[in-house]
Structures are given as structure tokens and as C-alpha cells.
Copies of this chain bind each other. A is one copy, B any other.
Amino acid sequence: MCQLLGMNSAQPADMRFSFTGFAQRGGATDHHGDGFGIGFFEDKVCRLFIDNQPAASSPVADLIKHYPIKSKNVISHIRKATQGDALQLQNCHPFVRELCGRHWLFAHNGDLIDYAPVPSKRYQPIGETDSERAFCELMDAIINIEDGHGACPEALTFATIARVAERIAEHGVFNFLLSNGKFMVVHCSTNLYLLQRQWPFAEAQLIDADMRMDFSQTNTAEDRIAVVATQPLTSGENWRKLEAGELLLLKDGQIVQETRLFVSDAVKAKNAANLACV
């Protein structure tokens, strides 16, 4: 399986503290050592770093831990392979595509069973994961609501994602993060925690590494940051566990749209039984 980390912020923010803790789970404090990826938006373009070495020891991850890249939308993923070849880079999340003249970035935690959509000519998967197939299906649905002038209206985009995600989630565990650099869509099937940091900022201690940060020293009243993760990254902060089916649109570090997707009792029972999903 895998773990997810997402960040959506009002101001470009430095992700090194959170990523340092998260990367430890890629082979050090946890067993998600089959590659990792992290994508940073800078305006419309996403800078993606992926590697098939464990995040805890990869030289690429080491660069990320030390190079201050400031971004308003970041998605990261550490992988424990369950589908697709563990060492193939094409199966490393996040996946990226261009749509409406900007990058879109997607990462998924979970397994989708008997999920085999027919790919369109427009967006085809490169690797073999169920996750990339789901991403392509979402992209296909969104391009279809493009307004003819190269834009995708935000409310309609969120409604479209809700409709398609609800259908895909019938196939199994579908925790995902999706961003186009303007906003981030978060969907919880089983395990996702949300933390909102804002004024007055406080101190936090990483759970996976001996590192503390006093955010009141580095942030101002204008800063507001939402962090989403498969498991809480810090102690001393108020991580809220999202509900099954909860779909959020985060923008500028806060929830601007939300809905609850329908999850059948059969799917709930199947997902609850899927203990690998942590």
C-alpha cells in the first residue's frame, strides 16, 4: 500500500519539515520503501521529483529535505507496492498531466478491485497501476467540461470529480489527493487526516524524526496552511480524521467546498476488512 501527504497553503510555504517526517516512513519508521514522489506547484507548472529508492535513503529525497522549494500546493507519496512492478518508475506516484493549460497532479492510497476503464485517446496510463487509470478517468471527465476557452470552471470541476470519484470508489479504497496548482481536492475512503495551521501558530514535534518546529517564528497572520496525511505527522497538533466519502476542495489553506460521497454498506465492509490500507 502507500501513504499520502498533501499541503495546500495561502502563501508559498516550505515543505521540508513535514517531508522530513514523512520520508522516514519510506523505509525507516515504516515499510513504504518501494519508491516515492513529490510534486511542487509553482503557479501553473508542477515540479515533480520521483525515485524508485526508499524515501528514507534516496539522494533525491535528500535534496528535497534540504532544498527550500516554496509552494502553495504539494502532493507526496511513499509506496509499498501492491500493484505493478515495485521498481518501475512509471508506477511511482504522483502522476502528472496537462489539462486546460496547467499541470494536474494526483496520488492515491488504496486498491481498486476489478477496475478496468477503457482509456480514451486523450489521457492514457503510462504504467500499470489502478491509480493512474483512475487519474486518467478523472482527467477525461474534467476535459469534457472545459468551457471552450481553455478553462475548467471550479464548481463544475468539483462536481465532476465528485461524480466520477463516487463511481470509482465502488471498486475499493480510494483515498486520493488531486491538485491543479490553484486548489487541492482531497477524498477519504478509509484513512486521511486533516490539519489546519493558522494564526496564532504553535509548536509541533515530528512523530517520525527528532525535529521540532515553532511555526509562530516562521509564519504571519496572513499564513494559513492545510496539511493532509494518511497518518498524523506531528504530536501536539489537532489532526482530524476525515470520514469515509468526505470530499474537500482546499484553497488558500482552507476548505472552500465539501461534499459527502455515497458509500454503500458493502463497500464500507470490504474497505474496513482491508487492513493493509494504512
Q: Which residues of A contact B (CB under 8 A)?
A: 42-45, 47-50, 59-60, 63, 66-67, 88-90, 97-98, 100-103, 119, 121-127, 143, 146, 150
Asked whether, in the complex, the Cβ of A101 is within 8 Å of the Cβ of B88, the reply is no
Interface CB pairs A-B, < 8 A, 16: A42-B88, A43-B88, A43-B89, A47-B50, A47-B89, A59-B63, A59-B66, A60-B63, A63-B63, A98-B123, A98-B124, A101-B124, A101-B126, A119-B150, A121-B143, A121-B146
Which of A43, A126, A146 counts the most chain B CB atoms within 10 A? A126
Give Cα A220–Cα B103 distance, bound, in whole angstroms. 41
A22 to B240, CA, bound (A): 49
Besides A100-B124, A121-B150, 17 more A-B contacts (Cβ < 8 Å) are: A44-B90, A44-B126, A45-B90, A45-B126, A45-B127, A48-B48, A49-B49, A59-B63, A59-B67, A60-B63, A63-B63, A101-B124, A101-B126, A119-B150, A121-B143, A121-B146, A124-B150
Which residues of the other chain, B, contact A60 by a CB distance below 8 angstroms? 63, 67
Are B101 and A98 in contact (CB-based, < 8 A)?
no
Chain B: CB-nearest residue to A48: B48
Q: How far is the CB of A121 from chain B (nearest CB, A)?
A: 6
A59: B residues at CB distance < 8 A: 63, 66-67
Complex partner residue of A103 from B67, B100, B126, B143, CB under 8 angstroms: B126
Measured between alpha carbons, how far is A66 from B60 in the docked complex, in Å? 11
Known A49-B49, A126-B102; contact A43-B90, beta-carbon cutoff 8 A: yes
Min distance, Cβ A59 to any Cβ of chain B, angstroms: 5
